Amino acid sequence: MEFKSTRREWNTLQKDTLERKSAADQYVKEGKIVDAKDTVALLETVIKPYDKVNIEGNNQKQADFLAKKLCEVDPSKVHDLHMVQSVLTLPEHLDVFEKGIAKKLDMSFSGPQAGRIAQFLQEKKLELGAIHTYLELYGRYFVDLTPKVALVAATMADRDGNLFTGFSTEDTPVIVEATKFRQGIVVAQVNKIVDKLPRVDIPGDWVDYVIESPKPFYIEPLFTRDPALITDAQILKAMMAIKGIYGEYGVERLNHGIGFDTAAIELLLPTYGEELGLKGKICKHFILNPHPTLIPAIESGWVESVHSFGGELGMEDYVAARSDVFFVGPDGSMRSNRAFSQTAGHYAIDMFIGGTLQIDPYGNSSTATASRVAGFGGAPNMGCDAKGRRHSTAAWLKVGDEYALKDQLYGPVRRGKRLVVQIAETFREKLAPGFVEELDAFALAKNAKLPIEPVMLYGDDLTHIITEEGIAYLHKCGSMEERTAAIRGIAGFTEVGMKADPKETKRLRTAGIIKTPDDLGIDIGRANRSMLAAKNVHELVEWSHGLYNPPAKFRNW
């Protein structure tokens, strides 16, 4: 048999890139530097119709200048782009669709732009590939969604294109690696071009062009929660979480979702946690952005390590001064890295705990609403039982041993289980119910013609729900019927809770599947703001010995 090669050329990608780059040579001033005023011309030269393009849009850091300039290219030259990016935050991220520059989208999360995505889908201005988790999308960067051109953001660059991404590294390494090693083109906007970088985070060989943007990149202090806004009900749930879950299982390694519920838990560790004698037994290792509300727990010696997805505005100096706890480079500043943090969050922690908008009677929970295509970012990777995990810890084994379905599913093999915990108030502000018979995700799937309902955490992964009424230990339920009864039993006076059978709820309490604050020995009268280790942002600054430098919008002094 004769083997015949199907093609003569095996470096077309590289050739294409070299052609584009030589056409763009005219815009390069010195080394790899391109003047900001030539950005649009550069983009029109290096981007071709139908390219896969990434605008670095992270949870926090944004390549905002390049996003704006991409909107200014001539749609007759650059059109039908396929945008592949983790987060859509800025209006420009969708303006490219409005202007006919881009056509298709694959993404993870879209906070403020979620309503517009739904609208564009209806108007057929946009084709949606899929809504991924972060890790899933990063994975696909190396399979079938590799960017041809990446528009990234860094803090500083030198003339050779070496980048310093520092405290706010986030997605940059994974985007650049996928793009460059598949012969793509990397354009970086930087706040400043310097002679010598504090450290090199991305080697210049992987970067084609650097542009000093007129303004530093936009960054949002997304994870800062002002303790002054924490309510008594949040403090009650935090007390229940610490006593009924953290203490009960001895959870040492964990991730906290964003929000006031987890901020309350962080601020109760040095007070209520201390009182329960849990110091050294729980909360030793976090996968977490540098939450300012974690400062009192760190300062009082609870926390051994924190690895972060991204930075948090104002926490730079504090983090740098606590290199025993945070991951800090030889230059003295932290390096975040979302891909590694997400990996750690998926495999190396024992618990995810966070808030949600809706939970159904099966334990599925979602933040999706009927008219917004938002995605869930990293939550599904944290909030699931990682099936590939093969190391064990006490907390993980305890949940596995308590798992009521283990005999039916596992046979004689001993396995552990991740704690996946949702905190919900039965009614939120404006009396919106936290428990519903059908998730809004179903209506959204129908409205936006999605093949699957956008569920954040699946019911079979969820092990615990905390409401002000009690904790439901769902992994202890032997059937869907029992699980639903447990959920109804803590759903208060929502439509889901109203259907609870008081006798069944009582039985579940006896069986230890539902525990009310009384069952946990928690005095509701103590659940008030005097329990917080810091009651406002100013007290966080004091705890930090003046190292935390809160953004202006959080300074009421």
Which residues make up the interface to another protein (CB under 8 A)?
231-233, 236, 425-431, 468-469, 492-493, 498, 524-525, 527, 529, 535, 546, 552-557
Which of helix, strand or coil describes residue 8? coil
Residue whose tokens read 């932290």:
334
**CB-nearer residue toward another protein: 289 or 516:** 516
What's the closest the beta carbon of residue 490 comes to another protein, in angstroms? 12
Tell me the C-alpha distance between 527 and 242, whole Å: 13
Instruction: Fill in the amino acid letter for 139.
Output: G
What's the closest the beta carbon of residue 468 comes to another protein, in angstroms? 4
Residue whose tokens read 């428990």:
435
What's the closest the beta carbon of residue 491 comes to another protein, in angstroms? 11
**CB-nearer residue toward another protein: 81 or 268:** 268
**CB-nearer residue toward another protein: 461 or 469:** 469
Residue whose tokens read 């020995």:
521
What's the closest the beta carbon of residue 240 comes to another protein, in angstroms? 12
**CB-nearer residue toward another protein: 273 or 434:** 434
Q: Which DSSP symbol is given to 478? A: S
Q: Identify whether the C-beta of residue 423 lies closer than 8 Å to the C-beta of residue 241.
A: yes
Tell me the C-alpha distance between 482 and 511, whole Å: 11
**CB-nearer residue toward another protein: 106 or 469:** 469
What's the closest the beta carbon of residue 232 comes to another protein, in angstroms? 6
What's the closest the beta carbon of residue 228 comes to another protein, in angstroms? 8
**CB-nearer residue toward another protein: 15 or 428:** 428
Which of helix, strand or coil describes residue 173? helix
What's the closest the beta carbon of residue 540 comes to another protein, in angstroms? 14
Buried b (16+ CB within 10 A) or exposed e, 418-448: bbbbbbbbbbeeeeebbbbeebbbbebbebb
**CB-nearer residue toward another protein: 377 or 492:** 492
545 C-beta neighbours (distance < 10 Å), count: 11
Q: Identify whether the C-beta of residue 533 lies closer than 8 Å to the C-beta of residue 270.
A: yes
Name the strand (E) or helix (H) holding 88: none
**CB-nearer residue toward another protein: 208 or 468:** 468
What's the closest the beta carbon of residue 112 comes to another protein, in angstroms? 15
Exposed / middle / buried, residue 330 (Cβ in 10 Å: 0-12, 13-18, 19+): exposed
- φ, ψ of residue 192 to 5 degrees: the values are -155, 140
